[in-house]
Chains A and B, each alone.
Chain A
Amino acid sequence: MNPREEKVKIITEEFIENDEDANVGKRKKNSKVQRQPRKKQPPTTGPDKMVSEESHLGNQQEPAQDKPQTRLLSVTARRGPRSLPPIPSASRIGFAEFSMRERMREKLQAARSKAESALLQEIPTPRPRRLRSPSVKELETEFGTESGKEVGSTQQEDDSQSYSRVKFHVSARKIKSKPQVPPGFPSAEEAYNFFTFTFDPEPEEAEEKPKHQDGTNQEEEEGEEEPPAQEGANRMDEEELPHGKDAENFLLGLDHTANEFLAVRPADYESVHVRLQREKEMLFIPSRLTVPTYKKLPENVQPRFLEDEGLYIGERPEVARTNQNIMENRLLTQEPGRRWFGDDGRILALPNPIKPFPSRPPVLTQEQSIKTELETLYKKAVKYVHRSQHMIGSGDPSGNFQLDIDISGLIFTHHPCFSREHVLAAKLAQLYDQYLARHQRNKAKFLTDKLQALRNAVQTGLNPEKPHQSLDMIQKTINEYKSEIRQTRKLRDAEQERDRTLLKTIIKVWKEMKSLREFQRFTNTPLKLVLRKEKVDQKADEEAYEAEIQAEISELLEEHTEEYEQKMEEYRTSYQQWKAWKKAQVCKHRPDQAGSGRAEEHPEEETEEPYPEEDPVKPTPPEPTDQAAIEQQVRERAAQSRRRPGEPTLLPELSLAGSVTPNDQCPRAEVWRREDVKRRSVYLKVLFNNKEVSRTVSRQLGTDFRVHFGQIFNLQIFNWPESLTLQVYETVGHSSPTLLAEVFLPIPETTVVTGRAPIEEVEFSSNQHVTLDHEGVGSGVPFSFEADGSNQLILMTSGKVSHSVAWAVGENGIPLIPPLSQQNIGFRSALKRADAISSIGTSGVTDMKKLAKWAAESKLDPNDPNNGPLMQLISVATSGESYVPDFFRLEQLQQEFNFVSDEELNRSKRFRLLHLRSQQVPEFRNYKQIPIYDREIMEKVFQDYEKRLRDRNVIETKDHIDTHRAVVAKYLQQVRESVINRFLIAKHHFLLADLVVEEEVPNISILGLNLFKLAEQKRPLRPRRKGRKKVTAQNLSDGDIKLLVNIIRAYDLPVRKPTASKFQQPSRSSRTFREKHAASPDTRSPTHSADYPLGQVLVRPFVEVSFQRTICHTTTAEGPNPSWNEELELPFRAPNGDYSTASLQSVKDVVFINIFDEVLYDVLEDDRERGNGIHTRIERHWLGCVKIPFSTIYFQARIDGTFKIDIPPVLLGYSKEQNMIIERDFDSVRSLSEGSYITLFITIEPQLVPGESVREKVTVRRHHINFWPGAVSMYVFFSFRQQFLDLLAGDEEEHAVLLCNYFLFLGKKAWLVIGNAIPEGPTAYVLTWEKSHYFIWNPCSGHFYGQFDTFCPLKNVGCLIGPDNIWFNIQQYDSPLRINFDVTKPKLWKSFFSRSLPYPGLSSIQPEELIYQNTDKVAAAELQDSRIEKILKEKIMDWRPRHLTRWNRYCTSTLRHFLPLLESSQGEDVEDEHRAELLKQLGDYRFSGFPLHMPYSELKPLIDAVYSTGVHNIDVPNVEFALAVYIHPYPKNVLSVWIYVASLIRNR
């Protein structure tokens, strides 16, 4: 309670006294209304309330109120009537308010004092009745307690009762003293009050409150309503208590009156004691008293305070002492097990979990209006601070840090302008500095003293004054001392010697300098060395010297004797050994070793000893120590290093007292030098983090080569200091400054602040070379002091900068140092021990041992939660369980992220499938909808793939019938795969044109054309064909693409021959090759046949187109030259629905165009029904076919032309002869052509962009084709000829080259023709010259055409390649029909090799000769019989699933015999014989069949060819089949396959 409050209280108390009286009257008046409810209040409520109040006021107030209460009691006792305690909150009244009130009350007091004296006489008697009643007593008790804010607790019940009793007396006395104003009689002060109350409204308010409370619900608290009001109100008025008292008084008074109306009987009051007694039985109320510690701890255990031991203990949550006591008592009683208490005897507690700041956002209280929330706050703009690791104080707005750099001066220890004297002076100064430093330390003295002390110690140690120490110990210590003496002596000698040399050097330099000054007759430096001699007492000195020497000698002697004894020992043992050895070989030699042994030195002796067994030499006894020698040694050394006895001590003193010779007395060179020095000035730049921050003023160089700056730079730093550099610049005259040197200053430690930093000198030196033309010695250049130039010296410009760097101190004494945590590692300081990383470096963190060591050193508290993770890390790392790997792992957490192991991942079928698909493995490349679950993936999905993998290197012979072909097929497959793989890579590389459609830059012609187009007719009469829009293959799906085949007409189809016709003359088709050339077409005459009248239908052909197993056919036309002009539409499906260019290019399907003859057979069995119905069976007979690969159509976009129909050489029942009659006119034109032709137009709708062919994209070798289309490709292909034959696979060019060479080999004139053909497109044919005719050979099929054959597939000719030249077609036309093949005409053919570029005679890279090995006939036969035939038969049966397939063996064997004939005759000339033979043998069969001839490469084309004939389609019930295969082997494994397939129907 401070004095002011005290005063206030005193004053208020006085007023209380006075007010009381006044209020009593007023109170009476005001509280009349309240009386009624109060009457009902039974007086027994007191105890109840007591209890309830106890329970709810409980703990909070208790500790606070204990003290006031006791204090109040004493106060009451002392003060008597004015004993009302000051209300604690009274002090809260504002002073101003109070003083105002005070004035009022002073007046009041004056008035009252009178009234009081008057009233005092009327003091009513106390009411003993009430006092006696227990209830009243209780009430009084309450009153007393309440007034003191005492909240009773059961424990203190008795106490409170006791002092409430005391209080009662007090209050009773008070009451006695209260003036009892008669009702209705306004006293003087009442009247005064009436008027003065307006000034002081508080009493009014205070009255209102009780009134209000009484009126509502607080009836129980009857007399006590005042104290709650007091508590509740913020402002406590001193007058309230008297009110409470007054109210009490009234209550008491009213009780009195109430008794008159009500039947009064004692309440069912149970004495407190009884009740407490009962409660005690039932309730357990733990004591509040502090539990002694020993109760809480186990027996005989001292409480241990971890905190005192320096361990970290978290802050305990705050719990009131009493509560804690209660809890402890409760635990002790109820839970006797002591688990609840910690070592320190307190309840175990976790650290306080309450954070110092709330984490919940502040809740808007009602009082705060929205307005205040919306109020704008002004905040000063804060400068944006860069956040960077190099910045310090980022995020710390107050972070201005300052570095003070004090540059006091600069001294050159060498400068180019130094004269020789300067050089010496500098040297001298340096030496003197050294001397001073040494002198200051005076190590020699120290060591001498130490030596002395040690000697004394030895002396005392030798005297056995301390008997309790064992002799051993003494000996040991003495030995130690001795060795130390030895060491110290050595050191001392060295030091003394050094001192002496230094002194000598100084004197020497000074002498040099003096002589130089004399020599040059002037002085440059004011340096002056004075040697002060200190006289010494010669005698004493000598004695000391001698004593020292003697001591040393004795020591040395001692040492030597020890050594000697040791050696003697050794000698004896070795001598014994030697003797033994000697005895063993006594006869051998007897060396006289005595003399030589003496002479030998110690080292030799030692060298002998290591090898005593090998060749023991007689050991030599050691030399006894020679005292004189030792003395000699010692004296010599002393003379060298020590001051001679009696010699005065020399103390050099360097002073600047000398005078410098003025300029006019100096020689010219020296004057120049001095002038040069004057012209020079020096300044320093301060670089902070390599940036210039400031510079000193430029100061002239003094004659003493010292520059004084005396400047302090305050660097307000923002970046963390990384480097601090001073640059020394020198300016000569007005020239630009030159950088002399850089001085790197260390960044001060954080402890170094301004004022405490010492001035330090940092040396610098420069490597510049300066030669001067005056006395200056220059720098970096040799000079000499000697006249003859010997003893050269090279000195570099160097010097010292004296400076100090420190951290500045701010206004409030805080050093402006950036925070520690932001300092980088390069900067170390002692303070950094606290930070592990800065202390041991980042690398140390990974080194667990280092870390642990650091933790141990810095005494980290392991219990501090801040260090928890670190401690755990260390404990884990340093315990043996987990080891710290000494390798670095890049992704050490990788394992954590592996959700399954690799094996499991590999086992997953789905993953495998996805993986394979993404690898573009052919089987899975286009796999769609990979199932979600593993279980939905069939194992068989992988079967094909795995099989392929397995068989990759195994040659499989099942599909490929002979092994050679199997190898070839494998090889081709691999080539294909690799090409496809390359293509797939290429596929992802798009050209701009692949992605973006962009018009070409138009040239003039196109522009003109476009302009012309504007004038074009909108609907011309003869519209020009416009190109179709091409469609890229990307956005296509099944059914979008159609193959359009327009069958226009056919020529020269074979016609039927009546089955009954007889043997006929060889027809035209049966002529031999030779005949064809020999005979002129005119010579042939029709040889037949009256069987067919003109105009009779000889054949009813129709065309069937099959593609991808879809079959379409035209209507049936009539005659051998039918015209269908029909368009057939076949859908196209890309493999796997992949319409990409790559996929389309790999389509291998072939369009089969088969020509059939529709034959109607009358199957009406009964002639009688002929009139009623027609019953015919349609049979179709295969006439021939044309095969066009889809890829050709795809690349050519359209195929338009006439094709030769591939008609089997033997077509039983058909012939072509009759057309001679009909079409004689064309005979000459087609004289040399053979067979039948069909005119077709095939295209794809919509037109596909063919894309680039695979080969162009991926083959390198074709790059050159653009240049020399013929030559190079020819040579290229030549190079592959051998391979081509080996592989049995090649394209047109390769065939053509081979054929051409073959012709050349045969001696024919042959050329390779490069041109365009149908359907191949750009291709190579072979041209031969044969008896005034040119023949054009298709190298693949072997067909040949005359030059003027209209049906020749070669449509234009680009160039011819002969064996020695290449000719390009420069004629007007390029159709072979219209060009002249005479290459000798230069106007028609431009030759590649001409006179200007002669044929260089390129040598062929081919083997000279191709060797055609014979093919294994057995294998061919086996292939023929067992494989192909069998497979084909099976196939035919498969194709007829609903019919029985019978094989006519007889016919088959006939056919089989017949096939070799066909091969030998090349399909010519056999038909009729064959027919005859067949007729002979199978007379009663209707026979339909034909041999198919094809080269053999694979089985599939054979099957397709058989299928396409449709032989199997005959479903006549009694049909029989015959199938024969013949393979004719040619060399080099070329196989020619003949398949004869036939159906037979027995004639009835």
Chain B
Amino acid sequence: MAAGGPSVFLLMVNGQVESAQFPEFDNLYCKYCFVYGQDWAPTAGLEEGISQITSKSRDACHALVWNFPIDITFKSTNPFGWPQIVLSVYGPDVFGNDVVRGYGAVHVPFSPGRHKRTIPMFVPESTSKLQKFTSWFMGRRPEYTDPKVVAQGEGREEENTEAEIPKAAGVCLCPSPAQLTLTFCPQ
């Protein structure tokens, strides 16, 4: 490292968001961003990205293939707060509104080499049936204020359930996983 600054270690991540399985949806795109701890800072590469819209493949597996590249380098002084990649998938609903189809997060692998990760995706669910209907009707599905919350643990504890804290937003798991392949090598 440079003489002046403190010693850091670098974590280079490159890979791609390969494909997803969303049996019910088509024409999806995905966003990714990273969540990391206080001791981490990105030094190069893109911290977030938004992919092209992809259509289902015609074959039997109906995969939604993006092959969307990820390339980022972090520097850090502390493994605490190891970066997580947060993926959120969007797509049009029946009325053509862009709605969120899934959130998911995974830690960047800890060991160098090629890794393939399959992330189960989920979306928050409406708090009531009526809201579910109206949100469907109006194309304003419930979504996270910030996709990064899926990588954070705050607000999920259940110590005071009566008033302040909701049990973490009612979450419904989409039946199918999105997949992400990461290849990375720390130095």
Contact = CB atoms under 8 A, between A and B. Distances in A.
A and B assemble together:
yes
B32 to A, nearest CB: 14
Contacts of A930: 38-39, 77-78
Contact of B164 (A926, A931, A989, A1032): A989
B136 to A, nearest CB: 11
Size category of the B interface is 35 or more
Given A926-B38, A928-B38, A999-B138, 20 more contacts: A928-B39, A930-B39, A931-B7, A936-B7, A988-B154, A989-B160, A989-B165, A992-B127, A994-B155, A995-B144, A996-B142, A996-B145, A996-B169, A997-B142, A999-B135, A999-B142, A1001-B131, A1002-B138, A1032-B145, A1034-B146
B124 interface: yes
Contact of A1034 (B40, B148, B165): B148
Interface string B133-150: 011001010111110110
Contacts of A1032: 145-146
B6 A931 contact: yes
Given A997-B145, A1032-B145, A933 B138 contact: no
A1035 interface: yes
Counting chain B CB atoms within 10 Å of each CB, the highest count among A926, A933, A1002, A1010 belongs to A1002
A932 B160 contact: no
Contact of B166 (A914, A936, A991): A991
17 contacts: A914-B80, A917-B38, A929-B39, A930-B38, A930-B39, A931-B77, A932-B78, A991-B166, A995-B124, A996-B144, A996-B145, A997-B144, A998-B124, A998-B135, A999-B131, A999-B134, A1034-B146
A195 interface: no
Contact of A994 (B40, B140, B145): B145
Nearest to B150: A995
A990 interface: yes
Interface of B: 6-9, 38-41, 76-78, 80, 124, 126-128, 130-131, 134-135, 138, 140, 142-146, 148-149, 154-155, 160, 164-166, 168-169
A927 interface: yes
B42 to A, nearest CB: 11
B146 to A, nearest CB: 5
Contacts of A928: 38-39, 41
A1002 B146 contact: no
Interface string A242-257: 0000000000000000
Contacts of B80: 914
B8 A932 contact: yes
Nearest to A1032: B145
A1019 to B, nearest CB: 20
A1001 B126 CA distance: 10
Contacts of B155: 988-990, 994-995
B4 to A, nearest CB: 11
A999 B7 contact: no
A926 B127 CA distance: 35
Contacts of A1002: 134, 138
Contacts of A1035: 146, 148
Given A994-B155, A996-B142, A997-B142, A929 B134 contact: no
Nearest to A1010: B138
Contacts of B143: 996-997
Counting chain A CB atoms within 10 Å of each CB, the highest count among B126, B128, B140, B146 belongs to B146
B123 to A, nearest CB: 10
Contacts of B169: 992, 995-996
A931 B8 CA distance: 7
A988 B160 CA distance: 12
A1524 B77 CA distance: 52
Contacts of B76: 929
A1136 to B, nearest CB: 11
A1012 to B, nearest CB: 14
Contacts of B131: 998-999, 1001
B165 A990 contact: yes
Size category of the A interface is 20 to 34
A936 B6 CA distance: 6
Interface in A891-936: 914, 917, 926-933, 936
Contacts of A998: 124, 126-127, 131, 135, 142
Nearest to A917: B38
Contacts of B135: 998-999
Nearest to B169: A996
A1004 to B, nearest CB: 12
B154 A929 contact: no
Interface in A947-1002: 986, 988-992, 994-999, 1001-1002
Q: Which 8 pairs show the lowest CB-CB distances between chains A and B?
A: A990-B155, A931-B6, A992-B166, A998-B142, A996-B169, A936-B6, A999-B140, A932-B77
Contacts of A927: 38
Contact of B7 (A932, A988, A991): A932
Contacts of B145: 994-997, 1032, 1034
A930 B142 CA distance: 38
A933 B7 contact: yes
A989 B8 CA distance: 33
A1001 B124 CA distance: 16
Contacts of A933: 6-7
A1034 B148 CA distance: 9
Counting chain A CB atoms within 10 Å of each CB, the highest count among B126, B138, B169 belongs to B169
A929 B166 contact: no
A927 B130 CA distance: 46
A816 to B, nearest CB: 52
A461 B148 CA distance: 106
Nearest to B140: A999
A1254 to B, nearest CB: 15
A1002 B76 CA distance: 47
Contacts of A990: 154-155, 165-166
A104 B122 CA distance: 91
A995 B123 CA distance: 12
B127 A932 contact: no
Nearest to B149: A995
Contacts of B77: 929-932
B6 A932 contact: yes
A747 B176 CA distance: 57
A569 B89 CA distance: 115
B3 to A, nearest CB: 12
Contacts of A1010: 138
Contacts of A988: 154-155
A991 B165 contact: yes
